[in-house]
Chain A
């Protein structure tokens, strides 16, 4: 198990950021607007926003602090909501219409091209960054409070963290310190949770998000499997008892026979949630 958790923690994506031409000085070449970065799957892309802008500062028309609240990320014209983990964005946006057999080759793409857009009016679905990294940390802490509430029936375990522990927890995400992260998260996670913090992502144009209530067992006492959850949430996606899509988490196609608690334990994200991307196969 620890090996799987380590692979997930270390997972990263090669990304090429192309900065909006309205953001740079006249005469800046296309090459100068590009930035190649490697971003962990288990973090928010926006954590790296200030650093990206600072790297490009000499080509920018404005100060970094002026533009932080007026920029967002897009891929092929589609907004990338920064408040989902980077790996979730990749798994959701890339190959939404792929066929099952094509997933392997699709995942061998080694550079993901993303646009950094700039405008005074922001697109629907984007949370503006108005308080730099403090806002990102606060958003992430709220996600954990919610996950803690779903797991334990109260947010007390999360609220009981000392200021020092809470700071260490966030720092472990920024500095990619898995041991520190595991130490603090162990205080929040439960061996026998009431429910599982789960977010299902659809790969439609609205990037629909569904947060069902998922217990560990079915009403007949049997262990709850992914198949049971899909049957409850997406009954119309089954034909003759067969699910017409596939489910991806942390870049891996998961088995519908996997039990939900096992999936949570192995594949949960750095925000305390298990993110499952429900993909349509072929259209």
Chain B
């Protein structure tokens, strides 16, 4: 578990140490008012292949803090690029088998760690979220590594399947 104050501090560390140098990341910004980090990620090949599309545009990722679980929470949504009569537009796609797509991409299929992915509403908008109920068990909150909690969490919950 991570308290809210420590989360806010570590969010900047995550941004500077990991996100800025992540090649797949097109764009990233921290919103101080709600302590969230939003990223635009070039869609990973594995996800495009799973969705059987070549034109998949990008995955929007948001890191927020869950006051209930006292853990970081990963939200994401998939944007598809369309061109209708030469008018380009982006639309959200909601793959039915998102759970297996994410777990397959993260190579979790034969592992004890299985992400549980579901659709929910955050600030009035629809996002997929990876359920945080086992986060501490997955990330480990040994005091010696506490300062690195959010970076380790991000590597398991985001980099493992978005890279």
Do the beta carbons of B116 and A127 come within 8 Å of each other?
no
CB < 8 Å neighbour of B124 from A83, A124, A158:
A124
Q: Which residues of chain A are within 8 angstroms of B69 by Cβ–Cβ distance?
A: 146, 149
Considering the chains assembled together, what is the distance between the CA atoms of A117 and B120 in angstroms?
Answer: 20
A127 to B119, CA, bound (A): 7
Bound-state CA distance A125–B126 (Å) is: 7
* Chain B residues touching A, majority SS: loop
Q: Is the CB of A128 within 8 A of B125?
A: no
Interchain CB contact under 8 A, A69 and B94: yes
Segment touching B, from A130-138, A176-184, A224-232, A264-272: A130-138
CB of A159 closer than 8 Å to a CB of B: yes
Interface string of B116-150 (1 = CB under 8 A from A): 10111100111000010110000000000000000
In the bound complex, what is the Cα–Cα distance between A125 and B121 (angstroms)?
7
* CB contact between A211 and one of B68, B95, B116, B134 (< 8 Å): that residue: B68
Interface assignment of A36: CB less than 8 Å from any CB of chain B: no
A81 interface residue, CB < 8 Å from B? yes
Contact in complex: A127, B67 (CB < 8 Å): no
* Complex: A213 Cα to B68 Cα, angstroms: 8
Q: Would you call A159 and B133 a contact (CB within 8 A)? A: yes
From A139, A145, A146, A149, B119 is in contact (CB under 8 Å) with A139
Contact (Cβ within 8 A) A155 B133: yes
Residue of B nearest to A124 (CB): B124
Which listed residue (B96, B124, B125, B133) contacts A130, Cβ 8 A? B96
Cross-chain contact of B133 among A138, A145, A206, A211 (Cβ < 8 A): A145
User: Chain A 89-129 against B: per-residue CB contact (8 Å), 1 yes, 0 no?
Assistant: 00000000000000000000000000000000000111110
Contacts known (A142-B116, A145-B133, A159-B133); A127 close to B68, Cβ less than 8 A: no
Q: Mark A51-80 against chain B: 1 for CB-CB distance below 8 A, else 0.
A: 000000000000000000100000000000
Please tell me the size bucket of the interface on A. 20 to 34
Min CB distance, A150 to chain B, in Å? 6
Q: How many residues of B contact A (CB 8 A)?
A: 17
CA distance A155 to B133 in the complex (A): 6
Query: B residues 80-126 with Cβ under 8 Å of A?
Result: 94-96, 116, 118-121, 124-126
B131 A128 Cβ-Cβ under 8 A = no
User: Are B121 and A139 touching (Cβ within 8 A)?
Assistant: no
Tell me the residues in window 29-86 of chain B with beta carbons closer than 8 Å to chain A beta carbons: 67-69
* CB-based contact B125/A124 at 8 Å: yes
What 1/0 flags go to A140-167 for Cβ under 8 Å of B?
Answer: 0010011001100001001100000000
Partner of A142, one of B94, B118, B124: B118
The docked-state distance in angstroms from the alpha carbon of A223 to that of B122 is 33
Q: Which residue of B lies closest to A158 (CB)?
A: B133
Which residues from chain A contact B94 at a C-beta distance below 8 Å? 69, 128, 130
Question: Known contacts A125-B124, A130-B96, A206-B124; can you find 15 more A-B pairs with CB under 8 A?
Answer: A69-B94, A81-B121, A125-B121, A128-B119, A131-B96, A135-B119, A139-B119, A142-B116, A142-B118, A142-B131, A145-B131, A149-B68, A150-B68, A158-B133, A159-B134
A interface residue numbers (CB < 8 A to B): 69, 81, 83, 124-128, 130-131, 135, 138-139, 142, 145-146, 149-150, 155, 158-159, 206, 211, 213
A-B contact pairs, 9 of them (CB 8 A): A124-B125, A127-B120, A130-B119, A131-B96, A138-B116, A142-B116, A142-B120, A145-B133, A213-B67
